[in-house]
Each structure stands twice: as structure tokens, then as C-alpha cells.
Amino acid sequence: MMAVMSTTSAPRWLSSSQQRVWRAWLDAVARIDTHLDTVLRPFGLDLGKYEILVRLSEEPERQMRMSDLADAVRQSRSRLTHTVARMEKEGLLTRQPCPDDRRGVVASLTDTGFALLETAAPAHVESVREVLVDVVEPADFEALGRAMHAVNKVAN
């Protein structure tokens, strides 16, 4: 449940140290995303497309309803539709009507898409290590995980 900001009380400004942490987090996320996209680019992927391939690969029969996929990859339904259309033209996945809901559409990972994922995954995992896992002390990495789990609980 998201907290609603009250318009009647004064803002609770961040302290200097909180502001430094917040801005460091924003800068780090941007650097991480850029690094991961750069490493995936030679495979014809970006982080958004890679995440779609990963999520589909983890599902039974390598398929998901588009609405569920949009939620899983944190994309709007409109953005996902455009991305999936491009990926479909590349032969990485297919779309077909949902068998139990006429309005629904199911995205399925093709063998070509799965093969691309298998090819790109080692470089991606190494890039995650380079940009985050290996540069952060293990205790700090665990603390980061706890912090992100807390954020995700509030955001849901």
C-alpha cells in the first residue's frame, strides 16, 4: 500500500546524509542500467528485452499472458506491446490469443529467443558482477537486499 502525501502538513525534507544516499542511489541505478544495456547491445538486446526473455524462460511452457508479463517486467502494457511486437518480428517470441480468455494474449518464447538468452546470459551475469556484486562488500550487498525487499513490500 502506497502512503498518500498529506497536503496540509509541512514536507519532511531529507537530511543532508539522506539526500546524499538518495542521490547516490539514483546515480548508481542509472550507471548500472547503462552498463547492463551496453553489455547486452552486441546481442541485439537491451535490459527490457532481456528481462522479457528471462521471465518467459522461467515459466511453464515458456509463455505468459501479456498482462502478467507487463507486471513482471515492470513495463506499461503499451510499452510491452511495442517491445514484444519488435521481438516477434525478430523471431524471439510469438503471440497468440489466450485459450481461456478471448481478450487476453499469450506471449511465448521461441527456440530462437531461448537460444539468444542462453548466448547472452553469461555476459549479462558477468556484467551484473562487474557493476554491483563484486564492487560491494558482502555485508553491504546483504543490507542492500534487505533494503530493496522492504521497498518492494511497501510498493506492492
Q: Using one digit for the tens of pLDDT, what is the confidence trace for 78-106?
A: 999 999 999 999 999 999 998 887 788 99
| Cα–Cα dist 110/88, whole Å | 9
Contacts of 128 (CB under 8 A, 6+ apart): 36
pTM: 0.86
63 DSSP β-pair partners:
108
Q: 153: which 3 cell numbers?
A: 513490500
What residue spans define the domains of the chain? Answer: 29-155
Q: Chain centroid to CA 147: how far?
A: 17
Residue 3 has pLDDT above 90, yes or no: no
Residue showing cell 546524499:
20
CATH 3.30.420.10 fits 29-155, yes or no: no
| Cα–Cα dist 48/17, whole Å | 32
